[in-house]
Amino acid sequence: MDFMQYWQLSDMVTKSLFFVLLALSIVSWVTGIIRVLQSRKLAVSVADDLSQKIQPTQAELVDADATTRRLVIEQTLLKNIARYRFASERGLPILGTTASIAPFIGLFGTVWGIFHALHNIGMSGQAGLGQVAAPVGEALIMTGLGIAVAIPAVVFYNLAVRINRRVMYHANDRAHDLLSSSAQLVAKPQTTVASKSAAPQVQVAKQHQSADEIQQTGHYRSSASSQS
């Protein structure tokens, strides 16, 4: 018996489960392909995009102190990384749900098909092996359909999760680089200010030293004149 004959003998419950599995299959394939492509694109551009988004914040905090600058930049980086994580996880619940429930939907269709076949056999009064084996074997088609729907969903889910880990790695790596560069930018102005503030003190010290030398020179001269 081919699939068309099985389709004609199936009831509304089996046909409804078939359309549910078909819809889940189409949704999982479309979602999986789009999710993988978008995750790969995000993995390539996430580092440069994060640098571009943090540049306006760095420009606004040029005159801020080191603690404020680091805190604001760190919070901005965390906010953008959370947005990248949320964007990279879109569609994953659909894939995970499809991978989880599709085999059970197929199993339920098989159980219902076996019940329906055994009921028809009981109504006909023929209980031979030929009458039982064919309907039961045909009912197992639903289990096969459920597994066929679940396998691509699992593959797409694991592939997307793997690419999303790469996205987060690149984002966190660039975030540490940006924090390090911001700390260096803060250290340079502080060094310049410290050198400027230390310059007058050095000049004052030099002036005091010169005055002391003049006094000592005068003292030496007065002592020499008195001795002569």
Domain ranges of the chain: 3-193
pLDDT at position 178 is 83
Confidence class for position 8, pLDDT limits 50, 70, 90 = low
Cα–Cα distance between 184 and 178 in angstroms, integer? 10
Q: Which of 96, 120, 108, 95 is nearest to 145 (CA)?
A: 108
Tell whether the model's pLDDT for residue 144 goes beyond 60: yes
Note the pLDDT tens digit of each residue in 89-103. Answer: 999 999 999 999 999
pTM, to two decimals: 0.71
Note the pLDDT tens digit of each residue in 154-207. Answer: 999 999 999 999 999 999 988 888 888 776 655 444 444 444 444 444 454 444
Q: How far is CA 106 from each of CA 147, 155, 162, 184, rounded to the nearest angstrom?
A: 7, 19, 28, 60
Tell whether the model's pLDDT for residue 153 goes beyond 80: yes
Helical (H) or strand (E) element with 4:
helix 3-9
pLDDT at position 219 is 43
- Whether residue 117 contacts residue 136, with contact meaning beta carbons closer than 8 Å, is answered with yes
Note the pLDDT tens digit of each residue in 107-138. Answer: 998 888 788 777 767 776 666 666 666 667 77
pLDDT at position 218 is 47
- Whether residue 178 contacts residue 51, with contact meaning beta carbons closer than 8 Å, is answered with yes
